[in-house]
Every structure is written in C-alpha cells, then in structure tokens.
Copies of this chain bind each other. A is one copy, B any other.
Amino acid sequence: MPLADILLGSPLASSDEKSQRVGPARGVPIFGLDALSSAAYGPEAALTILLPLGVAGLTYILPLTTGIVVLLAIVYFSYRQTIAAYPQGAGSYTVAKENLGEGAGLLAAAALLIDYLLNVAVAISAGVGALVSGVPKLQPYTLTLCLVILVLITIANLRGIREPGALFMAPTYLFVACLFVVILWGLWRSLLSGGHPQPLVPPPPFQTAQAAASTWIVLKAFASGCTAMTGVEAVSNGVQAFREPVVKSARLTLTVIISILILLLLGIAELARTYHIGATDPGQPGYQSVLSQLTEAVAGRGVFYGITIAAILSVLCLSANTSFADFPRVCRAVAMDSYLPRSLTNRGRRLVYSEGIWILAILSAGVLILFGGVTDRLIPLFAVGAFLAFTMSQAGMVAHWKKAGGRGARGSMLINGIGAIATGATLAIILAAKFTSGAWVVVLLVPAILAAMAATRHHYARVDRETAPRGRLLAGPVQPPIAVVPMEQWNSTTQKALRFAFGISNDIEIVHVDYEGCEPLQRNWAHEVEHAAQNSGVPMPRIVRLSSPYRFVIQPIIDHILALEKKHAEREIAVVIPMLVEPRWYQYFLHSERNELLSGLLLLKGDRRISIVNVPWYIK
C-alpha cells in the first residue's frame, strides 16, 4: 500500500461525494469548534479590559454579555436566511459579491482569509501554551508541539471532511458537557445560598480600582468580548458539506452551535458575577484563566477539574480545524472567479480542496515559526477580519432582499439591516480600540491581498485572451518541420534521435559543436547517415559544424537554431534532442546534463516556431 494511501486514505471517486457529507452531529465539531471555543476566551477578554475597575467591573459583565448575545442572535438569524437563500453554500464572499459587487466580495474574502489564518496559529498556540504552563518541562518544545499538532490537523483534513468530524466529536461534546455541568452546578449552589455562594476554592482577590468606569472602557470591553463571535460564519460557507436536505441540516447545525454558545456565555457571565471572579493579569505570575477559576470555585480541585481543563485545552487546539474546513472553500469560491490560482478549485483525492489545505498549513506554519509558537500578540488582529466579513455579508443580504422583494422580504431586510449596523458599529469600535495594538496590520494587509487578487484576475484574463483559439486550425496541406538534431557523439542515443528525425521530416540538419577538448565523432558516422538516407529515400541530412572558441556548447546551438528560424520564415522547426534517462538520481552527477539544459533553455529563449522533441534512451 503506497504511503499516500496510508497517510491520506485511498482516493475517493467523484461519485462518492454524497457519502462524504455530514449531518449535524459531525457538523457541530467540524464547523462549530471555532465558535464554541470562543466561550473560553471571549468573556475572559472582556473581563481583562475591566481589570482596572477592580471589583466594580463585575457589575458590567452581565449587561455586556447580554449585548454580545443579542448581536449573536441577530447574526444567527441573518445567517439562517443566508443558508436558505444560497443553498449551494455562500459565505460572506458570495453574498457580498452577488449583492454589492465584486469589490465588496473580495474585501469580505480577504478579511476572512486573514481571520482563518490567524485562527489556526492562535488556536494551536493557545492550546499548547496552556499545556506547557501545566507541564513546564515541555517549555523548550513549544514550537515543535505546535507544528506536530498542525501536521496532525492537516493530515486529518486532507483525508476528507468526515474524518475530522469523527475525530473531534468526543472532545467537543465533552467540552460542552463539562461547562454545562459547571454552570448548572454553580447556579444550583448559588440558588441554595440565596445568591451569595461560598467558592470551594476562593478566586484570587481583586486589585483595588485604579480607574473609574467610563464609556470608553465599557466599549473596549465590548469590543474584546466580541471575539466570542468569531467562527460563526463557518456553517454558511460549508452548506454543501451537509447531508440532504442540506438547508435543514445546515440550519440545525447552526442553531445547535449558536444555542450552546449563548448558554455558555450567559452562564459564565452570571457565575463570574455571583462568585466574584475576575480576570487576572495575563503577563503576571499567578495568572489563572477565568474558566479555571470558575471550575475551581464551583467544583473544587478534583478529578472533574482535571477533565474540564483537559477538554478546554483540546478544544482550543482543535478549533484550528474550523479554519481548515472553511479556508479552502473560501479560496475555491474566489478562485472560481479567477481572483486566486485556478488550481484551488480542484478537489483532491479525498474530495476536499487539498491545495487550499496545503496553503493554509504552510502559511500557519510560517506564522507559528515566525512567532516561535507564542502568538498572544496576534489576538487583537483576530476579530477585525471576522467582523469585516460579518458586516459585508449582512449588508449584502439587505441588498438581496431589496432585489428579491416578495412576502417577508421587508422583515428579513430589517433583521439583516440591524445586523449590518450592529456588526459595522462593533467593527468600528474594535478598530478604534485595537488599532495601535495590531489591528493596523490587518488594515494594511487587506489592500495588499486585494491588489494581488486583482493582478491574478488580470493575468488570467490576458492569458485567456492570448490563448483564445484563433483562425482556422489548418488552411491547407501542411509542411513537415525542419528537424534539427544536435549531436555531441555518435552513439545509440543520437542514432535513435536521428531515426526519429527521419520519421518526421525530409529536411534534416545535424548540428555538431566543435571545441577544444570535445570528444571526436566516430569516423564512420557520416557514411552511416548517407547510407540511411539512400535506403529510406529521404534527402541526405545537412551536417553543420559550429566552432566554439570559448568552449560553450549550448549557446552556439541555440544561436544557430534562432538564426535558422529567421531564415525560414514559414517553417516549423523541431529540435530533436536525445536524452539519456538514468534510473537513479545520483547518476545525475555523472553525466553532463547538457541536453536537459538545452531543452529548458530552448523553451525559455525560443520562439513560436521552435518545438522541442525529447527522444529518451533508457539505461537499464
């Protein structure tokens, strides 16, 4: 069994496509991991901003979370509509493009691609970072661990869409179950104690307030908390991956994901408030994540604590997978319109868009290596792409309903309009709050990507124009080409090339480069050629000797052929080059690769009427 089959699974026929589709049970881990894992860092991000307010900051967490949940609900309804309107699968790119124009679509696509790329790097390094802080011995292997996980996720995805679904189901549902247990248990204890529960393990005390609450701090906390919403658009991009009826499966999956996320966000906020749990300074010793404090406060430091933390870590790591499910689909949609290399639209051996998976893997490996596996500083860049895409998509849906009209269009337009305004406003807040801490990178990167996409499209258009079929294929009888055979020595390889030349033309030229130190041609070769010409009835080949005072071998031949082409303005020229093919790569060093070089250079420097014929001779 070839290695590729073992690693990647045996090839799937295009007709196997239906069997590769998934239902909601697998759909949640595949398309929902990114969104669900956000519960682990969204609330924490908001609480970190509230840190300077001291314990007073806790009063804002429930209202803030409610705001985020409302926004989430708006986005949810809007994506439900998108799924119904575009059952062939339509992310922000398609929706924005079809309703607002190509520029808007590309803007959304560029934003999403950046978002997905960052998500892979940040998710893996967050998981590994948490693992390493638990097992400090692993510290020196941070980058290695990140890359190993990246490789595993890449392979799982190259094996097709179903496999990561199956692999990631257990940790995903364990994560959800554990958090639900913590939340319900915590609420129950809070209820019993009349709203003032005693934490089993007391959380670290709050610092004294260093600042008074201001609108700006609350807005910044909101912007940070919105990272909890990243990953929500994944389902709408991947509708085609769902089992029939696709719209129903996709919608159900989205509903499950969003419902769980809302419950988790609200539950965490309520527990933080009642158990007096705030963020701790991430740069300082004694840092402990909010979820870890919560679980300790509710359940103590036992086996359950360990299981919960392990589930959180693995889901953080695996949430990189959502990017792998979606990035190639976005690439494909853009490539279909020639804004990205067209090969991104090819499905690989396991019916996934393998090239997009490879590109994402290579780019994120680059980011991980660049940052040594510690990507904290990338987190601020993160939400910009997601909210830019949200806004474009919502605005696109408004335009869609306006065009479509009909019953219910007005209501749908209202929902999407509110969504567009809310996500747009949030984007503005995020950009303002995080511009100096990194969001400017995205602001620079997006136009660069757009320019590259435009250049790509332009290139394809030009190539298509230049290679369009033109004129009649043949207007009358054709003339065979002039066959030019470069001959260094008289041996079986050149014999064979010459035989081929006799087969295709009756106008043959043998070119030999004479230089000091070259091996002399066998004495009887010209006689042999003459004999062959008489026997076959083909005119005797012309024999051209090129002198080469500087001992160059290839250049004189190329010059001669270009001159020959000029001289015969109406003729095709076939350069028949003998090739010695050796079975082992290291034998490459033992033979002058002149003929390979000649072929390559003729292709590069040649002209339209020069074709290159490689006549191979195989060494056993």
Contacts and interface: CB of A to CB of B under 8 A. Distances in A.
A305 interface: no
Contacts of A462: 619
A151 interface: no
A517 B613 CA distance: 31
Contact of A478 (B349, B479, B536): B536
When all copies of this chain in the complex are counted, the total is: 2
Contacts of A537: 477
Interface residues of A, number: 90
Interface string A463-481: 1001111101111111111
Contacts of A599: 614
Interface string A336-356: 000001110111110000000
A570 interface: no
Given A343-B592, A500-B611, A581-B603, A469 B481 contact: no
A255 interface: no
B531 A473 contact: yes
A326 B535 CA distance: 52
Contacts of A574: 500, 504, 613
A614 B611 CA distance: 6
A20 to B, nearest CB: 13
B617 A467 contact: yes
Interface string A487-511: 0001111011011101111000000
A478 B508 CA distance: 14
Contacts of A463: 580, 591, 619
A345 B14 contact: no
A338 B346 CA distance: 49
A364 B52 CA distance: 61
A549 interface: yes
Nearest to A12: B550
A550 B516 CA distance: 55
A335 B154 CA distance: 48
Contacts of A568: none
Nearest to A463: B619
A87 interface: no
Given A13-B549, A347-B551, A492-B468, A476 B604 contact: no
A11 B505 CA distance: 37
A214 interface: no
A479 B538 CA distance: 12
A466 B582 CA distance: 12
Interface in A529-572: 529, 531-532, 535-538, 549-552, 572
A171 interface: no
A610 interface: yes
Contact of A469 (B490, B589, B610): B490
Interface string A312-351: 0000000000000000000000000000011101111100
Of the candidates A477, A504, A620, the one having the most CB atoms from chain B within 10 angstroms of its own CB is A504
B612 A613 contact: yes
Given A478-B503, A504-B505, A466 B616 contact: no
Nearest to A528: B473
Contacts of A590: 341-342, 456, 459-460
A462 B550 CA distance: 31
A14 B516 contact: yes
B13 A536 contact: no
Interface string A271-308: 00000000000000000000000000000000000000
A215 interface: no
A610 B496 CA distance: 11
A388 interface: no
A109 interface: no
A572 B500 CA distance: 8
A503 B479 contact: yes
A496 B342 CA distance: 23
A615 interface: yes
B618 A607 contact: yes
A472 B617 contact: no
Of the candidates A462, A492, A522, A613, the one having the most CB atoms from chain B within 10 angstroms of its own CB is A613
Contacts of A456: 590
A503 B572 contact: yes
Nearest to A538: B478
A173 interface: no
Contacts of A504: 480-481, 503-505, 574
A491 B581 CA distance: 32
B13 A550 contact: yes
Interface of A: 11-15, 341-343, 345-349, 456, 459-460, 462-463, 466-470, 472-481, 490-493, 495-496, 498-500, 502-505, 515-517, 522, 525, 528-529, 531-532, 535-538, 549-552, 572, 574, 579-581, 587, 589-592, 599, 603-604, 606-608, 610-620
Given A466-B492, A477-B537, A500-B611, 6 more contacts: A341-B591, A467-B493, A472-B532, A474-B502, A612-B614, A614-B614
28 contacts: A13-B549, A14-B549, A341-B589, A342-B591, A347-B516, A347-B551, A348-B551, A349-B551, A463-B619, A467-B491, A467-B617, A470-B495, A473-B495, A473-B529, A473-B532, A474-B502, A474-B535, A474-B536, A475-B535, A476-B535, A477-B536, A478-B502, A479-B503, A480-B504, A496-B608, A603-B616, A608-B617, A612-B613
